[in-house]
Structure 1
């Protein structure tokens, strides 16, 4: 976690005047006119993500995704529940004195806990800043909780830096909290209050508290590790000197015998044969809360179980295609959406989460279960697994290749993989967000490349053919003697 940014001098000197300046900046940026100053880069990037998710800047509101009666179960199962007393000790008393409130979310921005000064809580009720609402950027636009989760870094959002107008009377600071075992985001902690209550130490306070929470989670993890070692060392001893190790549920090596291993082994759910980075084969057997690993004996390597190859070509102006081990399989749009979302989440998803990403707030997990059953019947139970829903095949998807190329900055590879928008007929909120994000990123890397071949490849797609900026860049990049230049110039004249 990076060190929290220092608050701007204008904000601390006169928060309300600074808020009025931010209003002018936001209005100008949304209107596409010159702004009195540029928004902070973290805010500008968040506005872009929020607008790509179709958050309404003037009428948006955080959606209610769980009713009050559903929250106790979610809270009790959440990994941040054990550190709630620490968070209360560090934040709630201060929040009460300063007319703020403490908020704790899960990794998807769902508010699980909210505590603080009564007057502030009542004001928060009027803008749906309550338990059971979702504050991810895609759901509520730019806000400290959602932006901290999106960037993985602490952030302060003041007044009109919130994309949605109804939150402009608020100032907030949030920091993410990560699982010390896996590094995955667990959620965020936030301190929010009315505009006039902004304090220079707010961001530093939540950042330090998040670090303390992670430290306490590490201490709890060490206790669990020791308990697992004590309960299962007999299994390691039973190997009688044969090379082996005890692993945690996430694959961390807790104890080893007669072998050198990496700190973490990539274990599959249920165990089985795994290949170590140096090429050695090992067998992993499930234990209560962990695994026993032992190295395979010398001799011929056992045959590895067949793993199906699933190829998805969904970045196209045409109908797209899906194959399993080279065999083309028919699919509906809904099945294509499910396959895309599962390919983007290799660790899998619950029925509830998949329903939300497919249908939005109205998603019904019963409908998802029925679709998964049909998909498993069509593709095979070895390709689509349950508990959680996930793909158990080797996936070769053009949208994953495109994403990987964008991360590497490989413009030519990204554009080669991008032959059209991702599932253009899909109205799924998550697919639509991924489609718009991929299209915008590929367009930008094509423009930045100024490479005639890259620009030509993007221009040939439906996304680029009538894009005047792409056409102009292509005209500039193509040499005078290239016959394609005349084609592009003629098309430009028609635009």
Structure 2
């Protein structure tokens, strides 16, 4: 892909859609042919075009692969975590979009269309593109588009006309905003408004982003009620407990404690089973199931890292090979524990693994934000990270424990390393090795 040194387009889509579409078409044609473009695409678009080119997506592609059958679609809907908030998610937008030429779409975290609604005429046009329920609209399927690109960037995105990578999508404008699970920080899915390019409006992106935030507020309220129910079950048990313990939900959020320092959350692996488990900040614990959660009891006697009198090194595997998620796996003498960190923590762990000698807060601020004056922000984030990975991530300087074995799993295509990240150091490490 040829990068131009010219400015970004000076005309905004909402000011003069036809002129802006013409300019974008010229930029697109030049970029695809390798010629010098009259302007450069927005960074979010240029980065996406580079990714999908590296993936081998065909710009003449007619649309995604065949959609799934009705049974598979229903299962995808149930698994999405969005069913319970669907009325709140779509209700207000339906009234705004009534009698318009736009589609309202809800997709899951993989970019698969779960629900859509709109006027019959625009639904027919969407059908011809394969923009149907059950279809895959991730970037690696249909290139740059609001659904796939918002999922990669983890932020609200509007894609207009020739900013789409596939040529047949140039007649459309789309805006999408991710919905994050407040319990885990992971993206559950997104809400999207799509329609003819002539229907572009500068307020659309702000509108759907506000709807996404309202959906997240609804999820937080549901979670609060879940913790209240768990607390009502666990409190009498903890009152009778003769040993330290705490009751947590399936994501580690604390509902009640007994003789344990108060905390909001402990990190649990994605797959939890009754028995003995190493838990960050608590050490080795015994886990017992509760309705809606777990009773966690720190083991009465433990010596970290020592088995049968011999020290056993901890192995930390940081897997960024899947662009959609990072998984950290910690193997200790007490077993193996895995966790999907937040995007910011994934960036930090990746940088600490890439250079084992460590960083100061100012150095990390430069690598994450391009500004060494943001050291206070870094210290606050590192405090949270070190609580999650106690004994693994150390300070002065910030580093991964020197005695640990660190394994870093990268994608085959280096440009797909943490693709949502705008951190200067991460962007530099995406460059091909020379």
Q: Same fold (TM over 0.5)?
A: yes
Question: Are 1:111 and 1:132, in contact at CA under 8 Å, matched by a contact in 2?
Answer: yes
- 1:434 maps to 411
Equivalenced residues, count: 351
- CA shift for structure 1 position 122: 0.9
Distance in 2, Cα, partners of 1:347 & 1:61: 35
- CA shift for structure 1 position 43: 0.6
Structure 1 pair 9–25 and aligned structure 2 pair: CA distance change class (3 A): closer
- CA shift for structure 1 position 10: 3.3
Q: Which residue of the other structure, out of 173, 178, 181, is the alignment partner of 1:179?
A: 181
RMSD (Å), alpha carbons = 4.0
**Larger fraction in helix:** 1
**Could you state the TM-score of these two structures normalised by the residue count of structure 2?**
0.70
Once the two structures are superposed, the pairs formed by residues 9-408 of structure 1 within 5 Å of their partners are: 10-240=12-242, 242-268=243-269, 269-271=272-274, 272-277=276-281, 281-297=284-300, 346=327, 407=351
- Could you tell me which runs of 5 or more consecutive residues in structure 1 were left unpaired when the two chains were aligned: 1-6, 313-339, 349-382, 384-390, 395-402, 414-432, 450-457, 465-469, 471-495
Distance in 2, Cα, partners of 1:182 & 1:404: 17
Distance in 1, Cα, partners of 2:350 & 2:299: 39
> SS where residue 74 of structure 1 aligns?
helix
Distance in 1, Cα, partners of 2:222 & 2:426: 48
Structure 1 pair 226–304 and aligned structure 2 pair: CA distance change class (3 A): farther
Question: Are 1:405 and 1:411, in contact at CA under 8 Å, matched by a contact in 2?
Answer: no
Which protein shows a greater Rg?
1
- CA shift for structure 1 position 308: 11
Question: Are 1:244 and 1:259, in contact at CA under 8 Å, matched by a contact in 2?
Answer: yes
**Could you state the TM-score of these two structures normalised by the residue count of structure 1?**
0.62
- CA shift for structure 1 position 90: 1.5
Distance in 2, Cα, partners of 1:411 & 1:267: 27
**Larger fraction in strand:** 2
> SS where residue 135 of structure 2 aligns?
coil
- CA shift for structure 1 position 307: 9.8
Question: Are 1:236 and 1:292, in contact at CA under 8 Å, matched by a contact in 2?
Answer: no
Distance in 1, Cα, partners of 2:414 & 2:224: 40
Distance in 2, Cα, partners of 1:187 & 1:161: 22
- Could you tell me which runs of 5 or more consecutive residues in structure 2 were left unpaired when the two chains were aligned: 1-8, 339-346, 358-409, 419-423
> SS where residue 130 of structure 1 aligns?
coil
CA-to-aligned-CA distance 1:179-229 (integer Å, 9 cap, x gap)? 111111100100001111111210001000000000011111111111122
> SS where residue 251 of structure 1 aligns?
coil
Distance in 2, Cα, partners of 1:446 & 1:197: 36
Distance in 1, Cα, partners of 2:312 & 2:81: 33
